[in-house]
Amino acid sequence: MLNQAKTLEELEKQVISLNNEMFPNHNLATILGNGRREKPRFAFVFINPTHKNISSRKEWQGPRFPFIGTRQVWRVFYNAGLFDKALIDGINKNAEWSLGFTSKVLEFLDSKSFYFTNLVKFTGNNAELPDSAKIQMFLPLLKRELELLQPKFIVTFGLLPFESLTERKIKLQEYYTNALKRNELEFFEAKINSFKAKIIPCYFPVGRGNPKRAIEMLKMLQTLE
């Protein structure tokens, strides 16, 4: 079964194989998760990669992980105190990421004990949300990925990853308001296969989300023990 990979490397091969099987004529490469690959403090789960990630180009020779070659998400993390000034300066100054710069960002994620990944591991040609069929296709792979990683906390951006992993619905506005009042984030416990996860919902940091509120919520991660 696809979700029975014993290592992240094996799981990554399965993700690529599934994409090749289900979308044989797709013109974009698969974007996988990356960062601290064993027991990260935070696994950040976004929704789905798009063509704006330059590592979606099939000729790309470097590592592939969410938001390579983009700016907004990294600015949100920087404004929340979670990203390096020298790196954000490099992102703001350069239109393209070099392979060397990409490796520096990946090294930073590892040093901070961060792991970035997506709910749906299919790279879209636009920013549309994935449909239910793609979510159901890739959700078992995400669950196995998180089970292998064993992160201390999982931060989900947007309600799709949160609801998919917890099988519960919340009002993000209400959660946000309560978090501000207490100046701390509540986590939700969920069983992901054999792994007992602690999951924190957050506004999506770009586009249709709410970057300002995402920054406020990410700043509160330091209150977690």
Between the CA of residue 185 and those of 17, 83, 141, 176, 195, what are the distances in Å?
A: 38, 20, 27, 9, 21
Give the residue numbers spanning the domain of 155: 2-223
Kindly report, residue by residue over 110-164, the tens digit of the pLDDT: 999 999 999 999 999 998 999 999 999 999 999 999 999 999 999 999 999 999 9
Report the alpha-carbon distance of residue 103 to residue 89 in Å, rounded. Answer: 16
Residue type, 68: I
Report the alpha-carbon distance of residue 127 to residue 214 in Å, rounded. Answer: 19
Q: Place 3 in a pLDDT band, splitting at 50, 70 and 90.
A: low
**Domain count along the chain:** 1
CATH of the domain at 145: 3.40.470.10
Kindly report, residue by residue over 62-100, the tens digit of the pLDDT: 999 999 999 999 999 999 999 999 999 999 998 899 999
Q: What is the mean pLDDT of residues 56-60?
A: 96
